[in-house]
Structure formats: structure tokens, C-alpha cells
Structure 1
Amino acid sequence: MMTQTPSMNPTDWVLPRILAEQGRLRPAAPWVTIVGGDSLTFGDAAADVRRVAGYLAGLGVKPGDMVGLMMPNSVDLVRAWLGIGTLGAVAVMLNNELRGAFLQHQLRNCGADLVIVDASLVDAIVEAAPHVETLKRLLVPGSASGPASARPQRLSWEGWRTAAPYDGPLPRGEDIACVMYTSGTSGPSKGVLMPHAHCALYGMGQIRAMQLTHDDRFYITLPLFHANGLLMQLGATLQLGIPAVVRQRFSASEWLNDVRRYGCTVTNALGALAAFVLAQPRRDDDAQHGLRALCNAPNLPEHEAAFRERFGIRDVFSGFGMTEVNIPVWGRVGQSRPGAAGWVDREHFEVVVADPETDRAVPPGQLGEILVRPKVPFCFMVGYHNMPDRTVEAWRNLWFHTGDAATMDADGLVTFVDRIKDTIRRRGENIAASEVESAISQMPGAGEVAAFAVPSSIPGGEDELMLAIVPAAGATLTAEAVIEHADKVLPRFAAPRYVEFMSELPKTATGKVQRAVLRKRGPEQAWDRDTPSRP
């Protein structure tokens, strides 16, 4: 069993293997509890996952096959994710809010013939299906199967309950476990090929940094289609054999109530979530709970101070990572460094801060780009699925280029400063400006479109998305019509807040839109979705 002292051989770092072992060692111990919903013990989860794997095998799914997974946080998502992995197939983790061209691109890129999709999300998949030739079948939890003539064909998810348990070989650490899509920069979203060892290392780092013990209970509010919720948090609880309390969707108003009700001791926050919690009205009993540690990224000094002083949380720390590179930088319980990400995990990674033009390391304390490479096999992405050119581009000079600016002192303490790449960070998601621009430019009357980030009105609240639009000749557009179109074609996390119409966009001599000029201009003259009486 992999706990705080895992096998030294990464080929053994496989979460489905660990679940099978936990099911034998602690079958009656609680593992996953959905707030207000179902629960699983380790024994139940281990047995269910083998039946899911058997059911998928009976449907013709083979090791290495891509299987889409689009579900809210639930015990069925856990069963499906680990069932796919047990079989040696590849779970393609699809964001629940994807729709339109965003969803079509990811489905085409992964080439999955089968998608497991919750009944509440099935319409988005059905609408995308005519544009995705490879998609043939859906497994739909929470819904009866559809007519055999329907395309894609709908099959009942519930067939796993009576399926023969899978008893074949389990995957190795070097085998691909899942694909997670990340923007990271301008251009279409990229599918990160993640080996099993890579997926397990997220939780191993969390256990070490947070000094988790068998007395801990993890509160998880982040979506399980991303690495933080699924691998850092849930993966850590699986490896250590401790309970996980999972909320289907984050709620700032219920955050502290849940912590108390379920006796949670540790949790993670990402991006604006901390700001939303701290924006809740103060109460006299804010510090009356059992939460001892919070991993908060980014960890603004004012946020750490508030969590410590207002909520009485003893340890607040941070980290830095990406879907591609794991978490090469971790803070440490008991060593507060407000504003910093943490120290380099020198056991598993090499990290330098380099000049983004030359890739030469800069002196300690000087600003540069974070570059990362692994020391241990298979604890890093294998590449971007079906995008070899983007893989090579990211790996220039045998370093992975994160596109993030930071400083690093002589002791390896890294402080994240800003993003170099042209992305927008909103609601915990990286949004490629080009994807938004492409979607909005399909609107009749839209000439040129620029999407860019402006600061959130909530301190520490990441970005808000703004559009600058030059209408086509003779066209008349309204901000309300633009927003209505955006809400139809964009995921909710990519919904623009501000719209400004311009006669021309600022450009370089070579015709490239100068988003830095637009960001500096800001939203003062823009129509604001939140206060539509403005211009």
C-alpha cells in the first residue's frame, strides 16, 4: 500500500492498485461521502470499481482506449474514474460546463467512442455528437437507456451493478491513466497525457506537505475533473486511507457549515474560492471548527492573515503546479511564507527560473519564467495528445516551459508573480483568449474580437473576462446581444463580464492585437453585465 512511505519504484504508483489494497485492509472504513448524498467505504468502492471495469470490458473497452467522463462530483464519478483505470483504459476528464466548439474540439481530439455522461449534462454531448465522428455510445447514470436507433446510442450505466467483476491485470505506473484538458496559452485546449505514476504523485506530495495522518478528514469542494480535487485531495485520501467529504459544487456560504458538520480537518482552496469564503459576513463563531490546515493557491498575504486570525486555522500554505508538471513546488506546514508558493520538491523535480527569451537561469531573486523537468520516471506528462508540435514547443531545450513568471531565492523558495502566456484565469479555469474570440466572432455583425483579462472587483478574485469588439461594416450590435450569444456558445467559466465596442483594436506593426494596451485601458468605458446601466 502506498502511504507516506511509498514504494521507490514508480511502476507501483497506481491508484487502482492502491484502492484494491485499501479495500482489503479497511473494507468498512468510510472513504467518500458526498455532502447531502451517497457514500462509499473503501471495501464498497473496491468492489464497485471491479464491476465497473468488468462492465466496460463487456462493452468492448480495452486497455489504452479513451473513455470520456463528464459528471458532477459524485460516487458514480469515483466509480467510473477508477473503473476505467482498473481496466487500463484512459479516462478523459471533461469539464461539466463545456459546450459547443469547446466540447467538440476535446471530443474530436481524444477520439473516444464511449462517453460516460450524467443525465443532467447529456444534452451538451448530444448537441456536439454530429460534429464528432468517433463518438458512438453514451453511458448515462441517472437515466434509462434511449432507443437503439439513437446516435450516439444511449446505454444504461446501471449495468455495472450486475456485471462480472474484472479480474485481469492492473495497469503499471508508466501506463496512461487519464487525459485532462488545459488551455495554458492561446490556441485550442490541449489534452495532457498523464501516466498513473504522475497521477499518484499529486497525492503523495499533498500527504507530505500537509503532514496528513489517519486522524484527518479532507473537505473537497473543487471539481473532480481537475487535478487538484481528483488527484491532490481525493488521491491523497485514497493513498492514506482517510475519509473524504466531497461537495458537489463549491458554496462559500456553506463552506464553514460543512467543515463543522462533517468534522473536517484539512482542505484546499484554489484561486477565487478563498476570496469568496473571506467575503462572507463575519460571525462570532468563525473560529469554532476542527480545520487545522489549508492549502491555498495562490496564497495572498492578506488571505493567509485572515484565515489565521479570523478562522483560527493554524497552518496556511501554498504550492505551484500544473496538469502537465505535477506539483514541483510545495509549501510546508509550520513554515509560513505568506505570498510565496513554497520550496522546490528536489526529490522529484528540477526547477529553475529563467529568462523567457534565452532559457538561461536568472540570479536568485530576479524575475523570470518557471521551467521544470522531472527526476523520476513517469511523474510528468507524456505529452499533449495528438499535438506533437505543441509538445515540442513546451519542451524547448529539454525544460518544460510553464509560461508563469516568478522569483526564486537561493534556498529554492519560489514566489509566483504573474502569467506570461496570454491566458485568462477565471473561476479556477485557464481560458485561452483565442477560443473565446473564435466563438464570439461567429456572431453575425462581429468584425474583430479581442478577449482579455481585467482584474476582478473581489480582492484576490482572479480575473474577469472582457471583450473589445469592432463591429462589421454596417452592422449594429448591442452588448446585451453579445452577452446572450456568449452564454449560448461559451462555458459558464468563460462568460464575459465586460463588453466595449471600438472603432479599431490597438495593434502592433505586424498586425497583432495589443492585449496589454487593452488591459491597461481597462473596463471604465465598457458595458458591465453586473451593472448593465453603465455604458
Structure 2
Amino acid sequence: MIVTYPHFEPHFPRDEWVLPRILEHQARVRPDRPALSWTDEGTPLSYAELNAEVNRYAHGLAAAGVKKGDKVVLYLPNSLEFVLLWYALTKIGAVEVPVGEIQKGAFLAHQLKLSEARTMITTPDLVARVAEVEADVPALEQCFILGAPDCARPQGLSRVAMRRVEELRTANDANPGVVVTPEDIAAVLYTSGTTGMSKGVLMTHSHFYFFAEEDVQMTGLTEDDVYMTGFPFFHGNAQFLTIYPCLLVGAHCVLYKKFSASDYFGRAARSGATVANLLGATMAFILASPPSEYDRKHRLRTIYAAPLSVDLAGKFTKRFGPIEFVDGFGQTEISNIFQTPRGVYRPPGASGVLMDQWFEVKLADPDTDEPVPEGQVGELMIRPKVPGIITVGYLGMPEKTVEAWKNLWFHTGDAMRRDETGWYYFVDRVKDALRRRGENISSFEVESVVRQFPSVAECAVIGVDADEAGGENEVMACIVLKQGQTIDFPALIAFCDERMGAHMVPRYLEVMDALPQTPSEKVKKKELRARGVTANTWDRQAHGVRLQSEIKAARRA
């Protein structure tokens, strides 16, 4: 029997999938319930207070010339004002374009130019970076500065008008009354750009809503929950997998400036958080932090881990208590396609089951688009069954939109397989897969073993050019160690040799201080591949370290 995700009725009808309408609804039906808190020390804004404060900014933005359909860049660090301004833009039908605070130079210029935004909101520190690329973004006309004591013009900024964000906050707290529909564009979220310059994903209000609804269903979120996040607000994880889900059900969201591994459970205890999420290597970072009095003094019942590191989950619950882990699998462009049903046994390593109420999928050969046989690895391709739940395209890149929709299937670039019961398993990014001596290798699967080695905090596995004819790739593991730890390379090789096929065991190992990452915590493997083998790389073959299969073969010879 094939398992699929349970069908569900969304909290709001599809013609109401509009953020400002939902905020106004919550302000009416639960005006005094806590909505947002800035850190666990802040006094919560109630839903009525939140709606009123958002309206004050919405009227100010409209007075500043921002109209329905205009794109406005939020180039800001995490702050309460970030959320207020994001919501305010939706109130007048404008389009939020969040840009990561780490962006600068050519990457910042690319995102600003692609947005064609006339208006930006940023900080005194970040506006200096804008000055460096001002000539490359001719559409930009005005810049509102958050937290600026004055409007002293940074050196080099000569054309763009500057004002203080405080000028946007008016006394008018009435709902603006601008007609916003589910089909209107709500936001442009930039992809991570792991293989090239980032693309701007056009997200309608209905797409934004649906992603949040999926999170609500998966975590079992209710108005009695407290959901915390310190992940970057410009990223979808914070926006439509934490903050918006709380708005949807009337829960309390607690916001932090940055993620903290050492204080993760301290925050959970102080905020009363019942739900949280983790990204990438953050689970390993928390486990590597020193023991704390808060390790078991918290109310966390559910953590949405994306992806869930199976090798670390057992260690996590052993230390921090019986927390339920859920996982979903998707992309900014397509929402979650697979999710973990609550209370259902999840096979180790599974990414989830198909949300067949909403999507149809196929696993196909990426070169031909022909379906692969059951159980084999293929590229995930999808189609929505309901309009408005995936992207309408990439901003300013029609050729990328057409490429993604080749043969009328959205090509995700993710290599996956499905078992006979309907569970789907992520294998690798199609472009990250390795091939060594005729054998396909999943970097994801090799990484999951290397991470289990006691001194390893995180790793990324890549393919580097082989030094023999026909070798295709050799396996290289780039490793970050736990604080204060050292590593015995031959011991790690033996550890891997016991747990994976000989063709998968890394030949090359290198310890790094940190892995190059995008703002959304994804490893830039293209950068690691370009770096390749260095003078600091340890070579198993050069050091004469042999695998058990090699030793046995030598004995037979």
C-alpha cells in the first residue's frame, strides 16, 4: 500500500489566502492574544496592536509614493521592524524583496538591479554598501534608514534620496483598504545561488499562504503554541515556515537577532517555545555546545528539521528529551512536495511522503525526462493540482523560467528515489552527484556517515578530478571539527570503511575552519569543487591507508 500525506482542509478558503486579510481577521477574533515578541525579554505585541502598528507604517509607505505592485527592498538584519515593514508592504499591495544582510558588492548589485526597486529600507551600516553599487542600480530612488540618528550621507552616495524609517510611522492605524488578491505577487525571494547568481522567485500571496499552511499541518501548530526563530528573516524558513504560520493560526512568535547554538534551549525555556526549527548543520552545532541547565527545562514538543539528520536525531533526544521531529521537502519555488505525517513511522533517511492532494510528481532521467523504473534514482519533477501554490516564474529571467518548466514539468534539480511504500528519499542535488569508476555516489549519504565520527561537527562531500584515465571522480570530504577536537584520518577512513561501500569511502580529507555557506545555510559546493585538492589535503592513497576490500584483494593475489 502506497502511503501519502493525509488530506486536509486549509484554515482559510482559497479566496482568502492573502496575508493582510488574515492579519485583520486575527486582530478581530483574537485581539488580545500575543502575536510577536522581540526576544524572550520583550513585551509581546497583541494581534490588535500588531495590526494597528502595521497600518501606521502602511499609510506612511503609501504617502512616500509606494504603490500596489511596487517592489521594495528590505536590506535589513533581523529586527521587529523587519516584520512590521514586511506586513505593511502587503497591506498596500506592494512586493517585499528581502535581501540578505551579508550581501555586498556584485552580489548585492545583482539582486538590487534585478528587483528594479525604487525604494529600499536599510540601516546606517548597510547603506554604505549600497553607496558602493549605486551606479549599478539606476532604478533606486529613495532609501529609508532604520535606526539612523540623522541622515548623514555616506561617502559616495550622491543620487539616492535618504530619509529615516521613523518618518514612515504615521498616526493612522486604520486598515488601508487596498484590494489585494491571492494572485497578486507578495514577495520576491532570492534563491541561494549555490551554482550561480541568485534567481528571484516570484511568490504570489496564495503561494506564500500555502507554504505556511503546510507548516501548520506538519507541526500541528495551534493558537496555544509558541514558535521561536533566530534564522535570517530574509529567508523563507523564517518567513513562511515560522512567522506566517503563527499568524495563520493565531500563535505567538518569538523573534531573535541571530541563531544561537549555545543558547538554543535557554531561549526555548525562557520564551516558553513549544515549536522550533533547525536548518542544515545547526543540529550538530547545538549538540556540540556545552551542557546547560536548560537542556531539559523547556517545553519544546516539535522541531521541524530540514533536512533531518537521522544520525544526530537519536543523540538529540537522548540529551534534550522526547522531542518529535518532523520534516518536509521542497523548494522556495514549489512549496513542500513531501512531508512527514505526524504519528506515523518514518523509515530512516526518508524525506516524507507525497502530498498527493496538491501535487503530482515523477522521478525521471534528467537528460531525457523519461520516468526511471520504480526504486531507481531520478530527478524530481512536479506539477501542481491546484493553481497558485508554486512560483509563477523567476523575476527578470524568462529563460530560466522556461528552462525550469521544460516539457511542462517543473524540474527541481533534486535527485530522489521512492520505496515500494511511497516514502521518498533525497539522494543529492543532480549537479552534486559523484561518479567513481562507473558507480554513482550520493554525497548526501557519504556526509551522513562522516558526521557520525565523534570529532566531526560538519562536513561536505564533493567530487574532484581523478588522476587516472576513466576514473571520473574521487571522493573528497571537507570537514569542520567540534571545538577543541583533533582528528585521526586513518581512524575516520576505517570508520567509513565499516559503514559504506568501498567506492564511497573518501580518498581525500581536509579540515577547514568553516564551510562556505549561503545566507540560508546551504554549502557552496561549487566553491569547494573549484578549490579542489590543496596543499592541506590529506590523501589516503599517498599515506598508504588501505581499505579492507583492498587488503583482501591483495591477499588473494
| TM-score, length-scaled by structure 1 | 0.78
Picking from 102, 106, 109, the partner of 1:101 is: 106
**Is 1:18 paired with 2:9?**
no
Aligned-residue Cα RMSD (Å) equals 3.3
Q: Name the counterpart of 2:68.
A: 63
Deviations 1:461-488 (A, max 9, x none): xxxxxxxxxxxxxxxxxxxxxx9xxx9x
Q: Structure 2: how far apart are the matches of 1:244 and 1:6?
A: 18
Q: Structure 2: how far apart are the matches of 1:143 and 1:360?
A: 57
Q: Name the counterpart of 1:468.
A: none
- The 8 Å contact of residues 269 and 294 in structure 2, kept in 1 or not, is answered as no
Alignment of 1:437-476 (within 5 A): 455-457=478-480
Q: Name the counterpart of 1:254.
A: 263
Q: Name the counterpart of 2:536.
A: 525
Q: Structure 2: how far apart are the matches of 1:205 and 1:189?
A: 25
List gaps (5 residues or longer) in structure 1.
426-430, 434-451, 460-482, 501-514, 528-535
Per-residue deviation at 1:117? 0.9
Q: Name the counterpart of 1:231.
A: 240
Q: Name the counterpart of 1:415.
A: 425
Per-residue deviation at 1:13? 0.6
Change (3 A) 1:371 1:495: closer
Q: Name the counterpart of 1:371.
A: 381
Deviations 1:59-108 (A, max 9, x none): 11111111001122221011110111111011001011100000000100
**Is 1:154 paired with 2:134?**
no
Q: Name the counterpart of 1:506.
A: none
Q: Name the counterpart of 2:38.
A: 34
Q: Structure 1: how far apart are the matches of 2:185 and 2:267?
A: 35
Q: Structure 1: how far apart are the matches of 2:525 and 2:432?
A: 18
- In terms of Rg, which structure is larger? 2
Q: Structure 2: how far apart are the matches of 1:309 and 1:523?
A: 39
- The 8 Å contact of residues 198 and 381 in structure 1, kept in 2 or not, is answered as yes
Q: Structure 2: how far apart are the matches of 1:369 and 1:495?
A: 20
Q: Structure 2: how far apart are the matches of 1:57 and 1:453?
A: 54
- The 8 Å contact of residues 72 and 120 in structure 2, kept in 1 or not, is answered as yes
- The 8 Å contact of residues 178 and 193 in structure 1, kept in 2 or not, is answered as yes
Q: Name the counterpart of 1:323.
A: 332
- Look up the equivalent residue of 1:211 and give its one-letter code: G
SS of the residue 2:371 aligns to: coil
Percent of matched pairs sharing the same residue: 38
Q: Name the counterpart of 1:117.
A: 122
Q: Structure 1: how far apart are the matches of 2:386 and 2:193?
A: 24
Deviations 1:321-351 (A, max 9, x none): 1111111111122224232111111122222
List gaps (5 residues or longer) in structure 2.
1-7, 434-442, 445-459, 463-474, 483-511, 539-557
Alignment of 1:288-299 (within 5 A): 288-299=297-308
Q: Name the counterpart of 1:467.
A: none
**Is 1:398 paired with 2:408?**
yes
Q: Structure 2: how far apart are the matches of 1:156 and 1:360?
A: 56
Change (3 A) 1:147 1:184: closer
**Is 1:128 paired with 2:133?**
yes
Deviations 1:193-232 (A, max 9, x none): 0000111111101111111222211111211111111111
Q: Name the counterpart of 1:428.
A: none
Q: Structure 1: how far apart are the matches of 2:152 and 2:334?
A: 43
Q: Name the counterpart of 1:436.
A: none
Change (3 A) 1:458 1:238: farther
Q: Name the counterpart of 1:351.
A: 361
Q: Name the counterpart of 2:310.
A: 301
Q: Structure 2: how far apart are the matches of 1:58 and 1:145?
A: 21
Q: Structure 2: how far apart are the matches of 1:54 and 1:99?
A: 31
**Is 1:389 paired with 2:399?**
yes
- Look up the equivalent residue of 1:62 and give its one-letter code: K
- The 8 Å contact of residues 194 and 382 in structure 1, kept in 2 or not, is answered as yes
Q: Name the counterpart of 1:380.
A: 390
Deviations 1:143-202 (A, max 9, x none): 145269953211111123225345232311110000011145633211000000111111
Q: Name the counterpart of 1:49.
A: 54
Per-residue deviation at 1:492? 11
Deviations 1:249-279 (A, max 9, x none): 0010110100011111111101011111111
- Look up the equivalent residue of 1:234 and give its one-letter code: I
Change (3 A) 1:5 1:382: closer
- The 8 Å contact of residues 293 and 313 in structure 1, kept in 2 or not, is answered as no
- The 8 Å contact of residues 97 and 493 in structure 1, kept in 2 or not, is answered as no
**Is 1:191 paired with 2:200?**
yes
SS of the residue 1:358 aligns to: coil
Q: Structure 2: how far apart are the matches of 1:271 and 1:58?
A: 42
Picking from 66, 70, 78, the partner of 2:83 is: 78
- Look up the equivalent residue of 2:33 and give its one-letter code: A
Q: Structure 1: how far apart are the matches of 2:102 and 2:370?
A: 40
- Look up the equivalent residue of 2:61 and give its one-letter code: L
- Look up the equivalent residue of 1:107 and give its one-letter code: L
Change (3 A) 1:330 1:184: farther
Q: Structure 2: how far apart are the matches of 1:523 and 1:407?
A: 34
Range that drifts further, 311-320 or 149-158? 149-158
Per-residue deviation at 1:314? 3.2
Deviations 1:274-306 (A, max 9, x none): 111111124576233211111111112112212
| TM-score, length-scaled by structure 2 | 0.75
Q: How many residues align?
A: 457
- Look up the equivalent residue of 1:275 and give its one-letter code: A
- The 8 Å contact of residues 192 and 522 in structure 2, kept in 1 or not, is answered as no
